[in-house]
Amino acid sequence: MRLFGLYGRTQDTLWTLIAAPAIWGVHFLFSYFYAAYRCAPNADIFASIGGTRIVVGIATVAALVLIGLVFRRAWVEWQAKGGTVRHDRDTAEDREHFLEFSTVLLAALSFVAVAFDVMPVLLIGDCR
């Protein structure tokens, strides 16, 4: 984890916090826009979307890996300091722990959300 900052730990900010949901959002918009774009004007609803499925598949793997990395970083740092869930003192350290823990939760949520978002592409093979 040296990669992410000095002393083997990153300064958590609101940016690190929203990284995973942001990846989820970008992935969601990309997938849906791209499928709509490839099917437009949607005159042939039974046209197969094989290529689109592959592209979305690649985007999904990328998104899941990135969210996984965010999760791992936050998890390691959070665990390194005990992995406790209560951080309500008014100190820089508690804020840091709070952000790490929140990042862990948000990353897990984003991971599941991305998986749910792509489910249609697994099951629906044309422009309907």
Closest CA to 51 of 39, 42, 41, 63: 39
b/e code 65-103 from CB counts within 10 Å (16+ = b): ebbebbbebbbebbeeeeeeeebeeeeeeeebbbbbbbb
Toward another protein, which CB reaches closer, 11 or 42?
Answer: 42
What residue ranges bind another protein (CB under 8 A)? 40-46, 85, 108, 112, 115-116, 119-120, 122-126, 128
Question: CB 116 → another protein: shortest distance, Å?
Answer: 6
Question: CB 82 → another protein: shortest distance, Å?
Answer: 13
Question: CB 7 → another protein: shortest distance, Å?
Answer: 29
